Structure 1
Amino acid sequence: WLPFRDEYLEEMLFVEGRRGLGQVCSGSRECRGEPTYACVDDECVQLGLMCQHCIVAAHRHQPLHWIKRWNGRWFQPTSLKELGLVLELGHEHEPGISCVFPKAAHHDFTVIHSNGVHPVSVQFCGCNALLDNRRQLLRNLWYPATPINPQTVTTFSCLRQFHHLNCLGKLPAYDYYRGLHIMTESRQRVKAPDRYRVFLRSVLQWRLLKMCKRGGRGHAATGIDGTSLGELAIECPACPHPGKNIPIDIYKIVSPDRAFLYTLFLAIDANFRLRNRVVSNEYRSPILGDGWAYLVPSKPYREHIENHVSEKEMSNCSGFLAMFLADMRNIMGLRCSGVGGVCCGRHRFWRKNGLGDLQKGERYCNIDFIFWSTINNEEYLIIVISYDISCQWSVNFWQRMAKLDSQFTVKFTPQGIHFMVPKFHLRAHQAKCHTRYSFDYAPGCGETHGEVIEEGWAQSNKAAAQTKEMGPGSRAMTLDDIFGFHNWLNSRTLDQVLAKRLVNAVKEFDIHYRDFVQFDSGLEKSVGRPLLDEWKRKVKVWEGNHDEECPYEDKSEDNQAQFKLRQLELIEEENAAWNDGKSGYSSSPCGFLVEGIELQEAQRSVALFVVVNKQITHTQQLELAKRRSGLIKRLGHFRKLQKLMMPRLSQVLSADELTHLTNEDHSCPEKVRLFLPSDIPRVADRVLACVADLPKMEAKLREAEAQDALERVRDGLRSRTGANRFKIRHITGQVGSTRAAGVLRQIDIRIHSRKIQYRLAREALVRLRGHGKWEDVLRPLMDEDVRGINERALTKEEQREREEKVKRLAVDEDADIDEFLVEEGIVSRVRGEGKRHLSWIWYQPDVSEDDLEFRDAICVEWCKTRARMLRWKEEVLLLTEELGRVSEYAMWKSEWWMKRFVGLEGMKSGVDLDLAEGLNSYVWQQAEFQSQTAELTLGKWEQLRKHATSVL
């Protein structure tokens, strides 16, 4: 484009002139008027220059275009009103006929259009007394600001444009109108009339009317006044709705093992971004359609809250302190401190009457009423509630619901309502909540994670700034509209989303089914089927009663340091030999080996210090010099012991090795080879060089060292997980994040160091013992194995992404080092119990009858592996059912619209033919759209549903 930019600019300036069209009026061939007028709007660019008469005639049906007049040097702005255009209303069906009884509109009649604010001359028709002024304006697709003697209107196209921009981009009405205002003044070079408040009023009414139109209220005999609570909300087509997308008597006939397919999943949360200041009041800004869509009805909600003003609720569990902050938040000057909401827990559709204002934080009384409102007058067999403080909110839940609705405990039972905590939020809870309220261990929940409501808030939060300063009526209607748009947008792609999830679920089920079968069959050979059946029985018992012992909780304790225990064992053997007079050494062989192993660890520490601190400071140089000085002293002491414990070492070394031994480089003592027994490759040479049993003793110590190093890797991974959680929950700001990143970096360095220690210890053990059964326990430790017990392995795609990040960090000085790690072998932190494959470092294959602690750990892992397999199986079944319900709901909705023709039961009748045609046309349009949706969904995904069912 750059070579042509001057050409583009010239053409933009070219159209500022007459474009060579100033000779003849382009209105008609017979016209001889002076061509001095042109239309500014793009759709009239082909009209060219016209005289005054022709430009007015050409715009008789386009009165909202801007006109400019050539004064001999440049184009000056003018308007069609100034040129004499008068728009006649009421005779659109009689082209060319003027009204014999015209009534002039107000001399300052103003039209707000998508291209600016226009002054327009209008004449109303006085022939038909039944067609008043406002109806004439509405039939011209102009929305009157007032029903009586309107002086300002907003075009339907302008309202539609703002409606879309506001719902999708959350563009405030002020900014939109300000844009129209500036557009008008920049074109007309005069101050435009201020109609901002008129525009706000029109938008408020437009939102309500659009919801009523789409909700079918224009067809009902009772009209808008007959709208019931929640009727205008867009329902989730994938959730179970008896009589709509599932049989009306399904809860009576479904078998217990398939009842979970008809579970209603709900997600509850509070959002403190959607605040509202004490601006205006309900008299000046009344709530239109109170409780008709997503917000709870204000009057009963307010009465309920007033009865619970003095209640105190404190949390003793959740790290998010939602209830504690309820009494701590600053609410000065606020009408409400946020919004509490309920959406479907799997598809992110906001529930009807599922939103309510929070006056002072997240209190039980608010959430109780909101939850009750969204399921009131409905019947479900099973409801699963996802709430980040479920562990506290569920306490005394039934007593509170009984006070709110005496029939609640009749319709629902404790066995039918289950409380869960979203997967991400669960990590902030105490350990006792991690199993009781986990989706991963709840039968029938599939791979539901419960965090969908957070995704919904992310969209609505964009409107927080504009709704904060609104009056109660404007805010309520705006929120209803925004949440409705969110639901509509979800419904457009819901079938594709569910199909994509189903494809993934089938793959994951196959993976986890194979993992479980292999794990289960291996344990059957090791511990026997009766023990596995007993573990399965414990799971069933716990699922029925969470007060029983939980099979998913790890009851094992941390192991003691194996290296110290092995060292103590060898020293005791040496002491026994001394007492029996069998030891012929003046020094301790065990002490020599321990000294060598610890010296190797000190060398690795110094080497890692050099690698990590590449741009070393003077202070770090001093620290390095001290460490190397200490190494040199310890090397001297070690060589003295080595001459006693390995007296013939020089006889088995090669020439190069001997040179290295006799001429040590003390400038880098961390690189000096120690030549322990494990460093001698041949067994015969090892026996010749060492005193008796020294290699066997080192083998025992190396085995203990490897076990200790592996345990310290596990400790480091646990520390890293805890530190990262703390950082996410409590650290904000650049300074705090930088410090936290430094802590995490040090933890990662320690993990890396212990990983290297394990590898070297294992390699030494291989040289000392050779390959054997011990390798089933101490396996090769790969980089991908170094992950926490709650972390999954990286996929190939994630590995490639991580490698690209590391490469980018190497060349980008501004990159955030906390985003990922640069030390080789440290695996990126990833989570997800549903997709996790346990790293071998967290379990071992041999389950001894005497090792009860390890048997409990294996029991826990077997239960978790089985749970993962079952959850993915349930997910496949749930998605298959939900995909079918989407088409069933669309078909029901099509039939619902077909019952809204004029003259049918409960619908309008006796209307004139033109109105009846409009009503029926809209019915056909909506019914056909829903019918096509049902057919497309069914035909597109039926084969996928059959395939998923066959896999199970």
Structure 2
Amino acid sequence: MQAWLPMAGVVLDELVRRDGRGDYRKFERCLSCPDSSTANAASIRCTTCDSGPLECEECVRVRHQRHACHRLQRWNGKFFEVTSLKELGMVIQLGHPDGSKCANPVPAPGDFCAIDVNGHHSLSLNYCGCEKAGEAGTPYEQLLRRDYFPSTLTDPHTVYTTRLLEHYHIQSLQGKMSMYDYYASLERMTDNTGTIKLQDRYKSFMRVVAQWRFLKRLKRAGRAHDPSGIPGTQPGELAVECPACPHPDINLPPNWEEVSDDLQYLYVMSVAIDACFRLKRRQVSSEEKDPILGSGWGYFVEDTGYQTVLAGYGAQDEISTCTGFAAMTQANIKYAKGYAASGVGAVICARHEFMLPNGVGDTQLGEKWINMDYLFVCAMMRHLRVRKLVSYDIACQWSKGLLERIAKFPSHLRIPLPTGTLKYVIPKLHWGAHERKNHSQYSLNYIPGAARLDGEGIERRWWWIQPVANSTKSMGPGRRQGCLEDQWSYANWRKIVDFAEFMRRRFMLARQEATAQKKAFDTFSASFKKKNIEKWEKEISAWEADMTTADPYHIAMTGPSQAQVKQAIAKEEQEKAARPGHIAVHKVSALGFITSGLELEEAKAKLQEQASNQDESKLPALLEQRTAFRVRVQKFHELQAVYTPQVIVLLAQDPAARTDVVEVENVRLGLPSEIQARHRPTACPPDILAIEARLRDADCRDALHDLRTQLHIQDRLYKLKRLHVRHQGPSTRSQTEIKGQNSRIRRAAARYRRTRQGKLALIGPGPWELEFQVLTDNDIRGVQDDDPDNITVRRQKAKNPGPAEGRRTVSWIWRSADAHDEAGYADSVRVEWMKFRSRAKRWLEEERLLPEEMRRILSWFIYQEEKWLCRASQREDVDDALQEGLSAYAFKQAHIRRTMRGNCRQVWFRLVKDTGLEMGAEWAAVEGYVPRKVRRRVNNKIIEDLDEEEAEAAAEEVVEGSEDLEDLEEDPRVAYRRLVELDHVEDLA
């Protein structure tokens, strides 16, 4: 830009020069006339054609017989003014492709208008009415053969060029441009001054676009080639299906149903269910005014049957009692006034994120069971033979009674779903919002065969479609369905187009991570005794075989929590109070007295932290907090006078116990554990001492559990930042979250130290110290982190700072079970081992599943190619011209599938061959396929005009000869790893 800026004046002058005749102003006569001596005056230029000399009217008419939608300007001696071919007298004759004259031309209406990508055009047009009219067809057909799409069936006044419809179609699919904005831009291109009044053709444009979308979907589905025609279209036939999913008799091997149990996951179909409430539809229009074209032929379910079933169900009673999501809870009360549909529910292919045929339907009042049950059943009609892994953010509730609810459906919807063929899971990012009890069976991290599925693909589909939500909200039922189905077909097709590189990147990542995770797991397991590994392996294998048994991923406490201890003490005090002769000394019990003291101790620590970090501007707020705390301390002293009156005497002699000071957060509270040992037996009754000791013990346990939890969260935040956060803004927010998490870890550690000190003061040293050890700063680390002192020693002795996997030591906070058995391990360590195991197994499953999906994609392309070749000659009742068109389109589609197969095989062949897996006929070289050429930079060397395999081999040679991978400009594996760090969603889980 700096180099261009000095040239801006020159460029501006050239732009202004275009408003005159420029270099052609000296040619007064038309250079296109055959005889230069009789040439006409040159005054017309075409702004659509390339720049050239001006021409006369006659030459412009002759040259533009096949370019009726070009823009013309006339030089009036001072400037160019807008004119048109119609004003020049050009008449378009239809029905005579050889250019012969029609003996009986039938003129079109005088206001006939053609709309092209460059705006509105007034045309003079004649239909053929002579003896050739039978061959030329009806006026409607004559327009279509000229590539003009009429707005009405009879006597059309407006046509749209197929070029315009194709252009808008792509713009709406890729750019999500609304029809209104696109049509308005056409008007602005015609006239942007407001001085010309244009006829409003917007309504006809909307109608034609809806017809065009429907016709394109029919054409791509091969309905023009089928003898049964459009009426023979089957449910879901217009949808673009996923080639990588298992389809029996199409892309599965003959023995797929007989594989061993450990390989059955290779032939499981993963689906995801969810609803999107952005895709609303207002209560406008009706099916009479705006009918649905091909209801049930694409992604939406057949509307009439759907509405009939819904009408038989009243208000929903079942709601989710587990998750914090409000979708089900608000199903009957969600605001829906003025809306015919509150959103859409959908079922998609979870691994590849394809919208499934007949898997979409409108929701009325939130996310009802009946809506989602119906959509699931209709989507699964085409996949009855394969097992299914079903992901839903409320799967734990929705799955209860699903089969019973389906059994009440109409007979044609009672699909067979044998026990054991369905497995329900919760998406990874949603799983954290559910309760933990008995929920590991719904976790994609722990379920065998889930591979690296995250279940969140449907959320990405909603994000992709939301730009059209605002425009479809005001559409009628037919146009809205047509628009959404068109968008989803485009999305599905683009995924097929991108499969070669997408699957390649995914497999390279899986191969790398599977190796790394297996190595990490083996190293981690080597640090434990063999008998513990065998015990844990047996336990987790039994649970994977029957997930209704006790959840092994649930961390059991080594003792009662503080809440459980309080409940037990309260029960004991109630029994004591019920004894004859018992007199209550105060309305607050002894348990309440000690609990209040411990709560004050916690509040005191928080106030001390706030006071140490406060600046001058926040002194008023600190004053209010100190005042409130002082009042609480004084009320606690009132209770002390009842339960420990001798303590009041001791506090009166201690200056540190005074409350009439500014820094009241440093006051001594006078809990039994704070009293000196020589005074404690006489100042504190035994029952009070026992209550505090029991609460201190439980509080130590809770504080350790909280510390471990916060360390887990910190580890996830660090991984999230390292893998997914880039740029200053997101990095700053991430640093703020990590800083806040560090504060929570410090508070949890301080709570443990404070509570342990109180317990030590009350009961002295003993065996309990094996469980509750002294907590140092080096002990506060994750289970995967090595001791900082060990790292420092290695850094001093060698260049590698570690941590060394084989020498790693686990902090004692993860071995709380050692209090009872030094050879045992804490539940948290056991669970961490199981998580390591699951992580490694999921990556190994991913590494094995991806080659199978690649093979299925190749098989699908073979099937589709053969299907299109068969379609070429299916119809017999057609003329030669139509038959040639049918054959040409079928051969073109077959060629596209063959080329796609060749591209995929070229990219994947070496990768899959290196795995050593058996490669069937699908991997054979594609006959007639010409390998695509690539241009790649590797280590500052440009490798060009090579096919993909040669380029891969060259890249690998450079990698093998390089001492430092960071020196590579763009090694495919390194480059892909960087991409994964930026946007690979599965690693979020």
TM-score, structure 2 normalization = 0.70
- 2:387 is aligned with 1:382: yes
Residue of 480, 485, 491 corresponding to 2:485:
480
After TM superposition, the structure 1 stretch with the greater mean CA deviation from structure 2, 125-134 or 746-755, is 746-755
Residue of 139, 148, 166 corresponding to 2:154:
148
Q: Which residue of 1 aligns with 2:357?
A: 352
Q: Distance in 1 between matches of 2:447 and 2:916?
A: 22
- 2:867 is aligned with 1:896: yes
- 2:45 is aligned with 1:38: yes
- 2:283 is aligned with 1:278: yes
- 2:30 is aligned with 1:11: no
Deviation for aligned residue 1:618: 5.8
Deviation for aligned residue 1:72: 1.8
Residue of 374, 378, 388 corresponding to 1:373:
378
- 2:58 is aligned with 1:64: no
- State the secondary structure of the residue aligned to 2:51: helix
Deviation for aligned residue 1:143: 0.6
Deviation for aligned residue 1:53: 1.7
Counterparts in 2 of 1:113 and 1:560: CA distance versus 1, 3 Å: closer
- 2:394 is aligned with 1:400: no
Residue of 222, 232, 237 corresponding to 1:231:
237
Q: Deviations over 1:403-451 (max 9, x none)?
A: 2265877732120101111011111111125302111111111111100
Q: Deviations over 1:758-782 (max 9, x none)?
A: 99xxxxxxxxxxxxxx9xx999967
- 2:189 is aligned with 1:183: yes
Q: Distance in 1 between matches of 2:747 and 2:553?
A: 32
Q: Which residue of 1 aligns with 2:269?
A: 264
Q: Distance in 2 between matches of 1:322 and 1:125?
A: 61
- 2:891 is aligned with 1:916: no
**% identical equivalent positions:** 34
Deviation for aligned residue 1:253: 2.5
Q: Which residue of 2 aligns with 1:751?
A: 745
Kindly indicate whether the alpha-carbon contact (under 8 Å) linking 1:90 and 1:124 is maintained by their aligned counterparts in 2.
yes
Deviation for aligned residue 1:377: 4.5
Q: Which residue of 2 aligns with 1:637?
A: none
Counterparts in 2 of 1:521 and 1:333: CA distance versus 1, 3 Å: same
Q: Distance in 1 between matches of 2:709 and 2:362?
A: 45
Q: Distance in 2 between matches of 1:137 and 1:500?
A: 48
Deviation for aligned residue 1:484: 0.7
Q: Distance in 2 between matches of 1:424 and 1:463?
A: 25
Q: Distance in 1 between matches of 2:141 and 2:13?
A: 48
Residue of 201, 204, 212 corresponding to 2:210:
204
Matched AA of 2:331: A
Q: Distance in 1 between matches of 2:474 and 2:123?
A: 33
Is there any run of 5+ residues in structure 1 with no aligned partner, and where?
A: 562-601, 627-704, 725-737, 760-773, 794-836
Deviation for aligned residue 1:298: 0.4
Residue of 898, 905, 912 corresponding to 1:938:
905
Matched AA of 2:885: G
Counterparts in 2 of 1:343 and 1:607: CA distance versus 1, 3 Å: closer
Q: Which residue of 2 aligns with 1:585?
A: none
Q: Distance in 2 between matches of 1:357 and 1:721?
A: 41
Counterparts in 2 of 1:711 and 1:315: CA distance versus 1, 3 Å: closer
- 2:120 is aligned with 1:117: yes
Residue of 834, 858, 864 corresponding to 2:835:
864
Deviation for aligned residue 1:468: 0.4
- State the secondary structure of the residue aligned to 2:375: helix
Q: Which residue of 2 aligns with 1:698?
A: none
- State the secondary structure of the residue aligned to 2:486: helix
Counterparts in 2 of 1:64 and 1:742: CA distance versus 1, 3 Å: closer
- State the secondary structure of the residue aligned to 2:55: coil
Q: Distance in 1 between matches of 2:625 and 2:378?
A: 68
Q: Distance in 2 between matches of 1:706 and 1:306?
A: 57
Is there any run of 5+ residues in structure 2 with no aligned partner, and where?
A: 563-603, 628-698, 719-731, 754-769, 787-807, 919-989
Matched AA of 1:120: L
Aligned length: 755
Q: Distance in 2 between matches of 1:937 and 1:748?
A: 47
Q: Which residue of 2 aligns with 1:884?
A: 855
Residue of 122, 142, 161 corresponding to 1:136:
142
Equivalent runs, 1:716-865 vs 2, <5 Å:
716-717=710-711, 748-752=742-746, 786=781, 843-844=814-815, 850=821, 854-865=825-836
Q: Which residue of 2 aligns with 1:592?
A: none
Q: Deviations over 1:278-336 (max 9, x none)?
A: 11000110110111110000011011101112332221111112211211211000000
- State the secondary structure of the residue aligned to 2:110: coil
Deviation for aligned residue 1:860: 2.1
- State the secondary structure of the residue aligned to 1:384: strand
Counterparts in 2 of 1:339 and 1:846: CA distance versus 1, 3 Å: closer
Q: Which residue of 2 aligns with 1:540?
A: 541
- 2:167 is aligned with 1:164: no
Q: Which has the higher contact order (CA 8 A, sep 6+)?
A: 1
Deviation for aligned residue 1:718: 7.1
Residue of 186, 207, 221 corresponding to 1:215:
221
- State the secondary structure of the residue aligned to 1:268: strand
Deviation for aligned residue 1:880: 1.6
Q: Distance in 1 between matches of 2:810 and 2:342?
A: 45
Matched AA of 1:934: R
Residue of 327, 335, 342 corresponding to 1:337:
342
Q: Distance in 1 between matches of 2:900 and 2:716?
A: 48
Kindly indicate whether the alpha-carbon contact (under 8 Å) linking 2:438 and 2:550 is maintained by their aligned counterparts in 1.
no
Q: Which residue of 2 aligns with 1:243?
A: 249
Q: Deviations over 1:63-105 (max 9, x none)?
A: 111111122222111111111011111222x14x222222211
Q: Which residue of 2 aligns with 1:254?
A: 259
Counterparts in 2 of 1:510 and 1:47: CA distance versus 1, 3 Å: same
Q: Deviations over 1:106-136 (max 9, x none)?
A: 1111111111011111111222224111111
Equivalent runs, 1:335-734 vs 2, <5 Å:
335-404=340-409, 411-523=416-528, 525=529, 528-529=530-531, 531-557=532-558, 713-714=707-708, 716-717=710-711
Residue of 167, 177, 198 corresponding to 1:192:
198
Matched AA of 2:857: V
Matched AA of 2:537: K
Q: Distance in 1 between matches of 2:272 and 2:281?
A: 23
Matched AA of 2:360: L
- State the secondary structure of the residue aligned to 1:325: coil
TM-align CA RMSD: 4.1
Q: Deviations over 1:531-584 (max 9, x none)?
A: 4333323223322332211111111258999xxxxxxxxxxxxxxxxxxxxxxx
Q: Which residue of 2 aligns with 1:809?
A: none
Q: Distance in 2 between matches of 1:709 and 1:471?
A: 59
After TM superposition, the structure 1 stretch with the greater mean CA deviation from structure 2, 916-925 or 44-53, is 44-53
Matched AA of 1:339: V
Q: Distance in 2 between matches of 1:846 and 1:312?
A: 45
Q: Which residue of 1 aligns with 2:109?
A: 106
Q: Deviations over 1:677-709 (max 9, x none)?
A: xxxxxxxxxxxxxxxxxxxxxxxxxxxx99999
Kindly indicate whether the alpha-carbon contact (under 8 Å) linking 1:386 and 1:421 is maintained by their aligned counterparts in 2.
yes
Kindly indicate whether the alpha-carbon contact (under 8 Å) linking 2:299 and 2:359 is maintained by their aligned counterparts in 1.
yes
Matched AA of 1:877: R
Q: Deviations over 1:643-689 (max 9, x none)?
A: xxxxxxxxxxxxxxxxxxxxxxxxxxxxxxxxxxxxxxxxxxxxxxx
Q: Distance in 1 between matches of 2:818 and 2:812?
A: 15
Counterparts in 2 of 1:754 and 1:258: CA distance versus 1, 3 Å: closer
- State the secondary structure of the residue aligned to 1:111: strand
Kindly indicate whether the alpha-carbon contact (under 8 Å) linking 2:817 and 2:825 is maintained by their aligned counterparts in 1.
no
Counterparts in 2 of 1:33 and 1:188: CA distance versus 1, 3 Å: farther
- State the secondary structure of the residue aligned to 1:326: coil
Q: Distance in 1 between matches of 2:713 and 2:303?
A: 48
Deviation for aligned residue 1:868: 1.4
